[in-house]
Amino acid sequence: MDATANDPSAPRPDYAATPDATAPPPADTPDEYGEALDAAHRHAARWLASVQERPIRPDLDVDAVLARLRRDLPEEGTDAAAVVEELADATEPGLMAMGSSRFYGFVIGGTYPAALAADWLVSAWDQNTGSRQPTPATAAVEETAARWLLEVLGLPEGSGVGFATGATSANLACLLTARDAVIRERGVDPALGLQHAPPVRFFAGDAVHTSVVLAGRMSGLGAPVTVGADDQGRIDVAGLERALHEADGPAIVALQAGDVHSGAFDDFAAAVDVAHLAGAWVHVDGAFGLWAAASPRLTHLTAGLEHADSWATDAHKTLNVPYDCGVAIVRDEAAMAAALAAHAAYLPTVESIPDPYDRVPELSRRARGVPVWAALRSLGRNGVIALVEGLADAATALAEGFRGIRGLHVTNDVVFTQVCLAAPTDEQTAALGEWLRAEGTVWASSSRWQDRTVVRFAVSNRGTDAEAVRRTVDAVARGAAAVGIGA
């Protein structure tokens, strides 16, 4: 390696200098990149300019978009810029305006400008950020973002942080680490496989999210045994204690920060104590709710959460960075690396310092932490607080507005960013949800919760302000009248 590589004072070569005019041009010349990127920028800018006012629903379904795309693969290639034009023209009518401030489906955030621009750089740089040695720039940015995340969320300094595809893969990374750790505590080498280990018991509340169930299945733990929950989805701590003492052996407990319907938070202080007294590993699924820990006004919701052993969240939800970006956090970084590290003779390693691919179940990965760094850098600590509290305030305002519409009922205690709405009958509620999604001003998910049909509003977009709330309440009032609610 060049001796000046680690000397910041050494003169650097001018990588942007004009190349030798006599040299043959590469296969993909800068002009070709420029034309394709210019086309992409033009279409992206047009999309972003329209997203707040266009109907949120797609105008075309999958079959209609397929009909606009060429079905057979041509024998000859096509100019890159023309390919971008063809792609944008064919697909834009089938796009959902998920970035709209009135999109409330699936707990999906918007995108901050700095995070979006940083994500474009990530694609242009094309760094496979698995190892620190060949990708020092993106690895350094991710490590900085990881440290900031721990500070903002009030989690233990020095915890391992991995940037995964989403909360499901982040939950998986944490549960794989938990599984190996509790097996190792029983004197069994996890590398030998589960068949050589005592059964690992896996517990959760009745309202456990499907991503935790899926991660449990993929990690070999199976679906969790549920121990009860209250009417808002908070785990039954007494039920958890009984279940933990019904048998001996390694155990993992999954708690929840933010129920997907009610937004409720488990009683972490009590549940973590009960689990740890029984020798269990405690994992917290906080896909969107973990961010409540960033707000001094909302930290009562997460009290005791910091004493768990691992946590999972999404940055593409509450933090509003582009898809995809989940975050896996484990208190014991060494345990994380022991469970997830990749080993091969050709892979570069740095002694005693875990690599990015030692924290997630991926060997090849894009630098997902770079947009996280950009979002946090552009917001600062106070900006993160304002973001989180603004989302919670918007949910409260929506609930207040909905309560003023005759015939509608807010079915959950609105404590964070979720609002569930119901009409007198399931049929009317279903009709309201269908009307809203077809009309296009608002997009909210229909679901089943507490044995009734609900329309669920998940407030995750940074742009959901007082005007967005007003327009949403107005659309719901019009929808309720249109389907005969309150008549």
Query: What are the pLDDT digits (tens) for 78-128?
Result: 999 999 999 999 999 999 999 999 999 999 999 999 999 999 999 999 999
Which run of H or E residues covers position 447? strand 445-449
Q: Distance between CA 200 and CA 221 in Å, rounded?
A: 7
455 DSSP β-pair partners: 421, 446
pLDDT higher than threshold 80 for residue 18: no
Query: Which pLDDT band holds residue 343 (cuts at 50, 70, 90)?
Result: confident
Question: What is the C-alpha separation between 392 and 386, in angstroms, rounded?
Answer: 10
- Spatial CA neighbour of 376 closest among 367, 364, 368, 384: 384
- Minimal CA–CA distance to 266: which of 278, 275, 257, 276? 257
pLDDT band at 44 (very low <50, low <70, confident <90, very high): very high
Alpha carbon 27 to its chain centroid, in Å, reads 38
Residue 347's pLDDT is 78
387 within 8 A of 379, measured Cβ to Cβ:
yes
- For 79, 265, 338, 387, the CA distances from 300, given in Å and listed in that order, are 56, 10, 34, 17
Mean pLDDT of 190-195: 92
Are 313 and 132 within 8 A, CB to CB? no
Percent pLDDT > 90 in the chain is 88
In tens, the pLDDT along 205-223 reads 999 999 999 999 999 999 9
CB 368 within 8 A of CB 436: no
**pLDDT reported for residue 27:** 56
Whether 5 has a pLDDT exceeding 60, the answer reads no
**CA proximity to 229, closest of 220, 237, 221:** 237
Whole-model pTM: value is 0.94
Tokens linked to 57 = 């629903």
- Closest CA relative to residue 338, chosen from 178, 200, 474: 178
Q: Is the pLDDT of residue 31 over 90?
A: no
- With a cut of 70, say whether residue 350 has pLDDT above it: no
pLDDT of the residue at 13: 58
**Distance (Å) of CA 369 to CA 68, 145, 149, 365, 376:** 35, 6, 10, 11, 11
Task: With beta carbons less than 8 A apart as the criterion, state whether 170 and 162 touch.
Answer: yes
User: How many residues does this entry show for the chain?
Assistant: 487
Q: What pLDDT is stored for residue 4 in this prediction?
A: 47
The CATH number, out of the four listed (1.20.1070.10, 3.30.70.980, 3.20.19.10, 3.90.1150.10), of the domain defined by the range 380-482: 3.90.1150.10
Residue 369, token pair as written in the block? 């932490």
Residue closest to 301 by CA, chosen among 285, 313, 289:
289
Strand (E) or helix (H) holding 282: strand 281-285
**Strand partners of residue 283:** 254, 310
Q: Which residues pair with 229 in a beta bridge?
A: 235
Residue 199 structure tokens: 């059964």
Place of tokens 């309720």: 480
Q: What is the pLDDT of residues 234-243, one digit of tens each?
A: 999 999 999 9
Please report the pLDDT score of residue 3 as a whole number: 46
Which H or E element spans position 162?
Answer: strand 160-164
CB 86 within 8 A of CB 40: no
Which range of 5-19, 25-39, 387-401 scores highest in mean pLDDT? It is 387-401
What element of type H or E holds 426? helix 426-439
In this prediction, residues 313-330 reach a mean pLDDT of: 97
pLDDT score for 487? 78
In sequence order, what DSSP letters do the residues of 340-361 get, joined into one string? H----TTS---TTS--GGGSSS
Work out the number of other CB atoms within 10 angstroms of the CB of residue 418: 27
CA 373 to CA 315: how far, in whole Å? 11
With 0-12 CB in 10 A as exposed, 13-18 as middle and 19+ as buried, what is 26?
Answer: exposed
Q: Is domain 117-375 in CATH 3.30.230.10, yes or no?
A: no
Q: Which amino acid, one-letter code, is at 368?
A: R
Q: Give residue for tokens 């045994």.
A: 225
Examine the pLDDT at 21 and tell me if it is beyond 70: no
| Rounded CA separation 368/163 (Å) | 6
Beta partners for residue 255, in sequence order: 284
Partnered with residue 282 across adjacent β-strands are 253
Beta strands in 286-441 (DSSP E): 310-314, 326-330, 409-410, 418-422
Of 293, 217, 199, 291, residue with least CA distance to 254: 217
